[in-house]
């Protein structure tokens, strides 16, 4: 059976084509100003990478904050459920999911059979998200993709005290003016994100093994900081951005609004 999952996030739209249990194509594109257009672009590109046509797909499910904007889907499913399902398909013993996306971060606690037991989410502000890192990279005049590499060169721990993106940006600007090395500031930012995740983990009483999903999982500095704060290693999917879409493609087989 061939199914598709579309995950419409605030910054990217992700599409996965699934044949039985194997991913045969996927694509990640910027969401831009139109969720509907981004969904179509991602879906068409994923079909092309899978060497399939739309007629080959038997069911399509959408997830993410823009899931209701996908006109060609038969089913919509919450991103919490999709991240749980997608994660468990990749890591059968996963007990908790740490997902950091463009505009929110969440921790999901799973039951022994993979169901969602509880979750905590920060979606009220950009602190601790991909957008937070984008703003800080701009303030530091540094490419976003270099943050992880630069933080590994840090020689001194710098504490970023503010959890608000606006105030943290001001704090970063002040540190730069004082001549604090960029590498130390970036490490401090990563550790601030890790502290927010740790707070959610404690609140949920989430346990290992932990799997990290979302675009920020590609930042090795954030991964290191979270691992250090939790005192355990994180398991990382080969492509962490498509886990939600993968879960949607799997759930497309069963149907129903979730």
Tell me the average pLDDT of the chain: 93
Does residue 258 register a pLDDT over 50?
no
**35 and 15 both lie in a single domain:** yes
Pairwise CA distance, residues 60 & 49, whole Å? 17
Q: Answer yes or no: do 149 and 210 share one domain.
A: yes
Per-residue confidence band for 255, with pLDDT thresholds at 50, 70 and 90: low
CATH of residue 200's domain is 3.30.420.40
Using pLDDT thresholds of 50, 70 and 90, give the confidence band for residue 257. Answer: very low
Q: What's this model's pTM, rounded to 2 decimal places?
A: 0.91
Same domain? 63 vs 98 = no
78 and 116 share a domain?
Answer: no
Evaluated on CA atoms 77, 78, 81, 84, the torsion sign reads positive
Q: Does 106 lie in the same domain as 30?
A: no
Number of domains into which the chain is organized: 2
> What's the whole-number mean pLDDT along residues 138-156?
95
């Amino acid at each position: 059976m061939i199914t598709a999952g579309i995950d419409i996030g605030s910054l990217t739209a992700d599409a996965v084509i699934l044949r039985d249990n194997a991913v045969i194509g996927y694509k990640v594109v910027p969401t831009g100003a139109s969720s509907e257009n981004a969904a179509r672009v991602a879906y068409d590109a994923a079909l092309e990478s899978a060497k399939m046509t739309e007629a080959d797909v038997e069911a399509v499910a959408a997830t993410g904050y823009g899931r209701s904007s996908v006109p060609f889907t038969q089913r919509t499913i919450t991103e919490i459920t999709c991240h749980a399902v997608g994660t468990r398909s990749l890591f059968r013993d996963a007990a908790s999911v740490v997902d950091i996306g463009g505009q929110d971060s969440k921790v999901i606690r799973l039951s022994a059979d993979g169901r969602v037991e509880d979750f905590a989410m920060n979606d009220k502000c950009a602190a601790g998200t991909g957008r937070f890192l984008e703003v800080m990279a701009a303030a530091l005049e540094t490419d976003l993709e270099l943050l992880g590499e630069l933080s590994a060169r840090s020689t001194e721990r710098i504490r970023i005290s503010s959890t608000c993106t606006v105030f943290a940006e001001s704090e970063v600007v002040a540190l730069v003016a004082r001549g604090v090395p960029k590498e130390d500031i970036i490490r401090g930012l990563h550790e601030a994100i890790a502290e927010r995740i740790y707070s959610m983990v404690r609140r949920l009483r989430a346990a290992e093994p932990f799997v990290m999903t979302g675009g920020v999982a590609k930042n090795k500095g954030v991964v290191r900081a979270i691992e250090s704060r939790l005192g355990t290693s994180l398991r990382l999917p080969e492509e962490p951005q498509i886990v939600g879409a993968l879960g949607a493609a799997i759930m497309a087989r069963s149907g129903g609004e979730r």
